[in-house]
Structure 1
């Protein structure tokens, strides 16, 4: 095994601690990823952000991290939906949410309507409308709960299962990836951050 010097890491740590004296190793890892690839810091197209009347881009004018995070996460969600939209239309889905509901039901153990709505972080009334459309198109079916006669369990029909597999295969061949050209380490770091935020906010979320 070739010997690799630790000096570059120590040098980077010294630079990091100068600006962030109380910084943790976790924060250092994020800082390191950000500074190793300066291309990640600047959008390649000048019109990728709104330009305000001051002449500044949105991220230059606003210093509120929460606002900018909401803005960019919302944009990323719309990009992802636009990539998948032709596939959704091809299979008769009114929105990507309908497929998300269908795919989760396929993976869950015969959930109730409430459980599916919670899993998708969707308000119950909105979720019931989505489930009603899936039932109407013969993609899911209801089974009475053996322990609670008032509740019904959901599962996929053969038609629904077939469509889920078809859509998975088509999504796997999309040329546009939501994670763009991030390498394996960057993807792992990004997904870990998303999972952390999901777990953190879920405890406060009231669908």
Structure 2
């Protein structure tokens, strides 16, 4: 069985070490994908970065990687919400968060209210308002917790499950994807990175 040469990998490693002497294998993997992936080098996509008064793009004007990560992640979140905004509104939801809460409750094991708010990283007061609306609309129901009489367990009603199924069917008809035209490997890596950031930052999150 023939094997591909490892020389290109070693050559790339040497170049990476010259550019980022403090980097490790995780950084090398990201660097390698960035340099080998033509998607990230494609000039065909419109540049949506705001231009600063210096004439620089936002990513050129700000040195803080934390700021840039927060800026772009925030924009990606708003883009993702915009894809389904008209669909959830057409089904009577006041916001996409109501749909997200409904989706989470359908997959969680009869969670209490605080667990749902925490899972969606929503401030408790706001989350409780959303849950009250879902109960009022007959989409979810409350049940006493057998171990804690003060707590209420949540589950979907038949009406709520039917509503969720209709929305899922509409989402499947959307031609575009939040993950754009990333291939399967890129999608897995991106989601893995998001999962890592979610798990890491969760320890500092205070609802």
Normalising by structure 1, report the TM-score.
0.94
- Give 3-state SS (helix, strand or coil) of 2:141's partner: strand
Distance 1:101 1:11 in 2: 49
Distance 2:80 2:118 in 1: 22
Distance 2:152 2:35 in 1: 52
Per-residue CA deviations over 1:99-140 (Å, capped at 9, x if unaligned) read: 110011011111111111111111111000000110111100
2:46 is matched with 45
The count of corresponding residues between Structure 1 and Structure 2 is 206
1:160 is matched with 160
C-alpha spacing 1:41/1:63, structure 2 compared with 1 (3 Å): farther
1:173 is matched with 173
Please identify runs of 4+ aligned residues in structure 1 that moved more than 3 A.
none
Q: Which runs of 5+ in 2 are unaligned?
A: none
- Give 3-state SS (helix, strand or coil) of 1:175's partner: coil
Report how far residue 42 of structure 1 moved. 6.4
- Give 3-state SS (helix, strand or coil) of 1:168's partner: helix
More moved, 126-135 vs 51-60: 51-60
Q: Which runs of 5+ in 1 are unaligned?
A: none
- Give 3-state SS (helix, strand or coil) of 2:13's partner: helix
Distance 2:37 2:155 in 1: 45
1:196 is matched with 196
Distance 1:205 1:143 in 2: 28
1:148 is matched with 148
Report how far residue 3 of structure 1 moved. 3.2
